[in-house]
Structure 1
Amino acid sequence: MSVRQLSKSEWQSYCDRVSKGLQGKRAQIEVAALHLGDQIATKWVPIFGISYDPKDDIVEVALEGLDHLIHRPRSVTVDEGTTGLSSVEVLDGEGRKQIVKLAEPLMLPPPASNVAPTPSP
């Protein structure tokens, strides 16, 4: 697996790209903190999307029956392997790790290019 930390400038576009492929996927959310230990917030429910709102500085994970909000994220780390994305870890403003695990890896589409194709003569 390849674990990498996203730069803050990538968060919104990465979440948008991931959300496009989540239809029919299931996810589990774990919250880990020294004072809490590891807690399961939700187990293997349908996931609809992940988004980052830079204006309010919130990561939202939309699941069946739950909108899981992560306030003031400090970092976003993704675990992508040859089979696709398996988890997203968000460190929140209070130092808790919030880990979104996918039941099955998600193959991501390539990032959109901002370069316009050159016209042929």
Structure 2
Amino acid sequence: MTMTKLEKSTWQAYFDNVSKILGGKEAEVEISSLNIGNQIEAEWLPLMGLVYDPKSDVVEVLMEGLDHLIHKPSEIYIDHDAVRLVSLEVIDGDGVRQIIRLRDPLMLPYSGAMGGAQASGAGNAPP
């Protein structure tokens, strides 16, 4: 798998495209920070959509029974291979990592699947 940083200018379009093909894939949300350690916010709930609103600078993770908001995201990484999305990591302005893992990888459409993304090698994964 490859960790790829998404450019902020592509977040809204990337999430819109991924949301169109989610089809209720099951996902979990893990929150990781020095203050709270690692905590599971949601465990294997249907993922209904991912949204980035540039006006309010919020990433919204819409799950069945949960609307998880990530305020002031500073970086977004995706873990993928050539055609499958495995997970996303959103780092907010306070350095809190929020990881959205898909139970089954999501098959991405080939054209534009990686728009605005910069691949990083294993040694360049986010800290």
Return the TM-score normalized by structure 1.
0.89
Q: Is residue 4 of structure 2 the alignment partner of residue 23 of structure 1?
A: no
Name the counterpart of 2:59. Answer: 59
- Separation in structure 2 between the aligned mates of residue 24 and residue 54 of structure 1, nearest angstrom: 24
- Contact 1:86–1:102 under 8 Å retained in 2: yes
Give the corresponding residue for 1:88.
Answer: 88
Matches of 2:107 and 2:10 in 1, distance apart?
18
Higher Cα Rg, which structure: 1
Report how far residue 2 of structure 1 moved: 1.1
Alignment correspondent of 2:40: 40
Cα distance between partner residues in 1 of 2:74 and 2:41: 20
Q: Distance in 2 between matches of 1:21 and 1:28?
A: 17
The one-letter amino acid of 1:111's match is G
Residue deviations 1:2-24, cap 9 Å, x none? 11101101101110111111113
Q: Which protein, 1 or 2, shows the higher relative CO under an 8 Å CA cutoff with sep ≥ 6?
A: 2
SS of alignment partner, residue 17 of structure 1: helix
**1:103 paired residue number:** 103
Q: Please state how far the C-alpha of 1:97 moved relative to its aligned partner.
A: 0.1
For residue 83 of structure 1, report the CA deviation from its aligned partner: 5.4
The number of equivalent residue pairs is 112
Q: Please, which runs of 5 or more residues in structure 2 have no aligned partner? A: 114-127
1:19-43 alpha-carbon deviations (Å, 9 max, x no partner): 1111131000000001111000000
Looking at structure 1, the residues matched to 51 and 13 of structure 2 have their Cα atoms a distance apart, in angstroms, of: 9
- Identity of matched residues, %: 51
TM-score by length of 2: 0.85
Question: Residue in 2 aligned with 1:119?
Answer: none
Residues 52, 59 of structure 1: 8 Å contact kept: yes
> Which 4+ residue blocks in structure 1 deviate beyond 2 angstroms?
none
